[in-house]
Amino acid sequence: MLWEPGWVADYPELAGWLLQLDETQCEHLDDHPQELAVQVQTWLPGAADYGALTQIPDLQPDSGTVARITLAERDAVDMPGRKRLQAGALCAALLPIPAPALDWCCGKGHLARTLARAAGQSVTGFEWNPALVNDGNRLARRFGDPVSLRHQDVMEKNLTWPVGAHGLALHACGDLHRKLIREVIRHRSPRLSLSPCCYHLTDQASYEPLSERARQQAGNLVLSPDTIRLAVQETVTAPERVRIQTRLAKQWRLGFDGLQRELRGVDSYLPLPPHPGRLMNGDFEGFCRWAAERKSLTLPAQVDWARWEEYGAMRLHRVRRYELLRHLFRRPLELWLALDYALVLEEAGYRVRVGTFCDRALTPRNLLVDAILG
Ligand SMILES: C[S@@+](CC[C@H](N)C(=O)[O-])C[C@H]1O[C@@H](n2cnc3c(N)ncnc32)[C@H](O)[C@@H]1O
């Protein structure tokens, strides 16, 4: 029995339309959800609002300003190219920056060093990985940047907050960035600038809106971490080679899933742990032998590997097309979460901008919530 998402029974025509898409169309629509929204309006009239719902201001300044603020490559030691450009774009979108800043979950302080130069201000960084703190402080000393990174678990209850600091975070995950929002509000900090990431990384069983308005609007809506993960499931920046490997891994996992259901005589999914990358240089049989061992499953002497490999390809074909519809909700969901952050800050007396600070190709996590007190 082939697993189908629940909506297929209610929208058989929509399911049929998705299944007849060829590979090029499927990939194109996955990368261009606005076009997909137009196409599925026949069955889902609400999709007509997709464009309006997901259109947000572009907060990027002109390219000359971004280039001026971005660290030169020679000063960006240990800084991956994308991170250098993201840090430059974020700082450029925040100018002017009058208060000293606190870089929350700063890693090696790439953003902190960019900001210190852009703003002519000292920057403190909080980071819990001591190796990153040491490397970051060494880099700051070497380049003479007024940056000081501190070994600090930001989730610590009695955190010492630097009075009057502008809280700043580039891609701090779920609970980490939500803690920053709470700290900023609690200390009446002058400003918070946040580009959120990995909204689903949380200790909570389900998402608890921060703002009063989102709480009221959500009603009985339960957003589990697994649902929220959808907001960040995008491969738009992954190179083609990585996309192909990811697809093959999915296909093999689905092939093994069919095999294990038949061998166990149980029609249920067996979750597999992450597989070692080297397996992808081998073949489907090798992958299944690894998976069977993980699940203490004895394989018979004869297995029709070609049959199960083909089954995996067939399942992947369907899953990828059905997933298109699910993926349509990624950006609206992400915006709903970011707007919840903006609203709680507004409720606390901040003036808030929400928009994009760079193109999606540089990072799909390109939202900026920028809040100024008063
Ligand atoms: C996704 S990285 C972002 C790093 C940096 N902001 C950047 O853009 O390069 C998240 C960082 O948060 C740090 N981190 C995770 N949990 C933390 C905690 N509880 N306290 C402080 N830092 C933490 C990690 O070590 C990592 O450096």
Checking if the pLDDT of 2 tops 80, the result is: no
- Whether 155 lines ligand 1, by a CB cut-off of 6 Å, is yes
**Using a 6 Å cutoff on CB, does residue 287 contact ligand 1?**
no
Structure tokens at 35: 């076009």
pLDDT at 268 over 60: yes
Using CA atoms, how far apart are residues 87 and 65, in angstroms rounded to an integer?
A: 13
Q: Does residue 7 carry a pLDDT above 90? A: yes
Is the shortest distance between the CB of 153 and ligand 1 below 6 Å?
yes
Burial bucket for residue 91 (CB in 10 Å: 0-12, 13-18, 19+)? buried
- Please work out whether the CB of residue 89 comes within 6 Å of at least one atom of ligand 1: no
Distance CA 233, CA 320 (A): 13
Cα 62 to Cα 89: distance, rounded to the nearest angstrom:
10
- Please provide the average confidence, as pLDDT, over all residues in the chain: 94
Interval 200-239: pLDDT, tens: 999 999 999 999 999 999 988 899 999 999 999 876 667 7
User: pLDDT of 47-81, one tens digit each?
Assistant: 999 999 999 999 999 999 999 999 999 999 888 88
What residue spans of 102-219 are helical by DSSP H? 110-119, 130-143, 174-186, 212-218
| Ligand 1: centre distance to CA 106 (Å) | 6
Sorting pLDDT into bands at 50, 70 and 90, what band is 243? confident
* Number of neighbours of residue 276 by Cβ within 10 angstroms: 8
Chain segment 162-198, per-residue pLDDT in tens: 999 999 999 999 999 999 999 999 999 999 999 999 9
Pinpoint the residues of the chain covered by CATH 3.40.50.150.
63-232+329-373
Distance (Å) from CA 248 to ligand 1 centroid:
31
The protein residue whose alpha carbon is closest to atom 8 in ligand 1 is 170
pLDDT at 240: 81
Question: What CATH number was assigned to the domain covering residues 63-232+329-373?
Answer: 3.40.50.150
Q: What is the pLDDT of residue 112?
A: 97
- Element (DSSP H or E) covering residue 103: strand 101-104
Q: Is the CB of 170 under 6 A from ligand 1?
A: yes
Nearest CA to ligand 1 atom 10: 172
Average pLDDT estimate for 310-326: 95
Q: Which tens digit of pLDDT belongs to each residue from 126-163?
A: 999 999 999 999 999 999 999 999 999 999 998 999 99
128 lines ligand 1 (CB under 6 A): yes
Instruction: Judge if the beta carbon of residue 132 lies within 6 A of ligand 1.
Output: yes
Beta carbons of 50 and 33 less than 8 angstroms apart: yes
User: Running DSSP on this structure, what letter comes out for residue 237?
Assistant: T
| Percentage of the residues of the chain whose pLDDT score is greater than 90 | 89
Q: Are strands 123-127 and 147-151 parallel, antiparallel or unpaired?
A: parallel
